[in-house]
Structure 1
Amino acid sequence: MQTDFYLLEQGGPERALAPLAGKVLAVGGRLLVVAEEAAERQRLSQALWQASGTSFLANDVAGGAHDARQPILISDRIEPANQARFLALADGIWREPDAGAFDRVLLVFGQTGREAARETWRLLKSREGWECRFFRQEQGRWQQAG
């Protein structure tokens, strides 16, 4: 399984998630976004709907009648009702996903979550079959740093 670590240099996950989600959709994928707090889930949903002036990233917060149809589903738990193969942990909190359920996990974290992300990196690097990559924002774009 591949895990990509995304360090937020500025702004919150609601600003940083749109380009990542756009890339997932561009390859025909579906995304499950997980955040613990309800207010954060609503901010993420709103930001995706308003991703740019001419387009949007269709999504919904889990628990509705049409969860299975959503290209991006936002939830407080790792339950891909939309059959997502990509998982974004938007609140920076590592949750142990079923290794076979996802092709890629995106861990989005800020400065306050940096030490926890380092611990997660060390944990995953010690496991067979896990690949880790690190990205940071440079001039508003994600650049692989390690």
Structure 2
Amino acid sequence: MGEVFFYHLTRRPLESMLPALLDRARGADWRIELRGTDGGRMRWLDDLLWTARKDSFLPHGLAGGADDAQQPVLLTVAGQAAANAPHCLICVDGAPLAAEEAGAVARACVIFDGGDGAAVSHARAQWKDLVGAGCAAQYWSEDSGTWEMKAESG
């Protein structure tokens, strides 16, 4: 089964840490699906990724374009198929992640806002479901100011 990393945001918002996470995944030569739950939010993240780095370019696109299959990073909304055959699936804003999907990629990530009680509860339920289905999982927190692994399944 797949490996799932849970990232608990406590110090920085998603828009601050997401470009660095995408850069690391791209550094592994992975194609990435960035999955959200709301089209407007994904368009906002698309705009953000165009301007997030002043000194570099993060190639990406919104799902539904002619070149989806070639996109290194493809932004989707839950229910859309990722045409780029991703190695890494990153779920934000409570986007669903099935154990079968986690097993089909090199890594899946769940990023959730620690200041949002509903998001924390949803991430806990996802952890329980995914670990129960046999996925290996790690929980990472930035409470100390740097990312530290706080828990690991199995």
The TM-score with structure 2 as length reference comes to: 0.84
Cα offsets for 1:28-51 (capped at 9, x unmatched)? 001000111122101211222223
SS at structure 1 position matched to 2:100: coil
Shift of 1:115: 1.2
Amino acid at match of 1:82: N
Alignment counterpart, residue 85 of structure 2, candidates 74, 83, 86: 83
Does structure 2 conserve the Cα–Cα contact (< 8 Å) formed by 1:94 and 1:107? no
Taking a change above 3 Å as real, the CA distance of residues 30 and 52 of structure 1, as seen in their structure-2 partners, is: same
CA-atom RMSD in angstroms: 1.8
- Report the count of equivalent residues: 144
The TM-score with structure 1 as length reference comes to: 0.88
Matched, 1:73 2:74: yes
Unmatched 5+ stretches in structure 2: none
58-67 or 86-95, larger mean C-alpha shift: 86-95
The list of structure 1 runs, each at least 4 consecutive aligned residues, that deviate by more than 4 angstroms after superposition, is none
Shift of 1:97: 5.5
Amino acid at match of 1:131: A
Shift of 1:74: 0.1
Does structure 2 conserve the Cα–Cα contact (< 8 Å) formed by 1:49 and 1:56? yes
- Mapping 1:64-143, distance limit 5 Å: 64-77=65-78, 79-96=81-98, 98-99=100-101, 100-111=103-114, 112=116, 113-128=119-134, 130-137=135-142, 138-139=144-145, 141-143=146-148
User: Percent identity over the alignment?
Assistant: 26
